[in-house]
Amino acid sequence: MKKTVLTAVLLIVSIALYGQKDVTKFLGIPVDGTKAEMIQKLKAKGYTSSTLDKDVLVGEFNGRDVNIHVATNNNKVYRIAVFDAKSTDEGQIKIRFNTLCKQFENNENYMSLSEDQTLSDKEDISYEMLVHHKQYQAAFYQKPAVDSAAMVEEFRSVLLTKYTEAEIANPTEEMKSKMEMDLIPYISEKMFNKLVWFTIDEHYGKYSIIMYYDNRYNKASGDDL
């Protein structure tokens, strides 16, 4: 069933959520801090440095051998990139892509704003990528983390600019709907900044998956220009 922006917002509003420093997590580790700190935390999870590049970590993730890269902006981590260590053929990569879509869809920690991101059996990946330069991607968003005190206070402050304490405490059904609409920009920002997506990469006729765990709060925004 398709989850629209409003559906996602109403779902999140129905629980108390964490407001500050609620960033994308990879293996439970916030995608934040310095590169050195992130590498040490990943090593504590069992990953080891590649023999070719000490800043690239190798190990297993979601049942696959992978290479993990840590990307930074102004010495702050904004992305964890997870590369398949081994490539495969077109048929297998289509199965892998669709399996990942279903895994994310069935994971209660994520939500999607698209109805279906899987690939059709008829999709000619090699032709589309070679001739039309088509990119195959699927995107999901980590749900905000629970912390009632922080988020309730943040939302309460936002609502107090339009409503009284009494109205917030005992809203009518009509007023409740309006409050939910008023909170959409704040909820959307928190959700959209916790992006997890993956894409199919092609190299000499072989295919692999690259997964990205993005903390978009730390991503370059042109401030340095």
What b/e sequence results for 28-51 when a residue is b if at least 16 CB atoms lie within 10 Å of its CB, and e otherwise?
A: ebbbbbeeeebbebbeeeebeeee
Domain count, the chain: 1
pLDDT at 162 over 60: yes
In this predicted structure, the answer to whether residue 13 has a pLDDT above a threshold of 70 is: no
The mean pLDDT of the chain is: 86
CA proximity to 139, closest of 74, 216, 202, 206: 216
Does any domain span residue 220? no
Label residue 149 by pLDDT band (50, 70, 90). Answer: low
* Predicted local confidence at residue 98, as pLDDT: 97
Q: What is this structure's pTM?
A: 0.78
Which has more pLDDT, 19 or 213? 213
- Which pLDDT score, from 0 to 100, does residue 4 have? 45
**pLDDT for 172:** 87
pLDDT at 90: 95
Q: 223 lies in a domain?
A: no
Q: Assess whether pLDDT exceeds 70 at residue 78.
A: yes
**Structural domain for 66, as ranges:** 5-215
Is residue 22 very low, low, confident or very high in pLDDT (cuts 50, 70, 90)? confident
7 or 222: which carries more pLDDT confidence?
A: 222
